[in-house]
Amino acid sequence: YVYDISVQAHVCASPLSTAAALHLEAVIPNFVIHEHHVFNLHDYNRELCTVDLQPTNGKFKVPEGPGLGAEISPWAIEHSIKYTVE
């Protein structure tokens, strides 16, 4: 335990990192605030994940599905660069 120290995870990447951060923040007793970058509001980022993790009335809901509660979307897989290793 670290006492009297506020915690804010630095999260400004994909929606999957947002899902992981929400799970982490939910169990940290000294968690203060979640960073939500403006990139998370753009369609190109929202399409990457099966769950659109956006705050409602300034609050997030922790994803409830298995694992992180979110997955890479079929759209992201279809539009990604793929390599074959032989």
Q: Is the predicted pLDDT of residue 1 greater than 70, yes or no?
A: no
CA distances from 24 to 27, 42, 47, 75, 77 (A): 6, 24, 23, 27, 26
Q: Is the predicted pLDDT of residue 2 greater than 70, yes or no?
A: no
pLDDT category at 37 given cuts 50, 70, 90 is confident
Q: What is the pLDDT of residue 70?
A: 93
Please give the Cα distance from 6 to 74 (Å, whole number): 37
Average pLDDT, the chain: 89
What are the tokens at 49? 């994940």
Please give the Cα distance from 63 to 27 (Å, whole number): 13
Span 1-25, average pLDDT: 84
Residue listed under structure tokens 């923040």: 25
Parse the chain into domains and list their residue ranges: 15-78
- Residue 18 burial (C-beta neighbours within 10 Å; 0-12, 13-18, 19+): buried
pLDDT digits 0-9 by tens, 40-75:
888 888 999 999 999 999 899 999 989 999 999 999
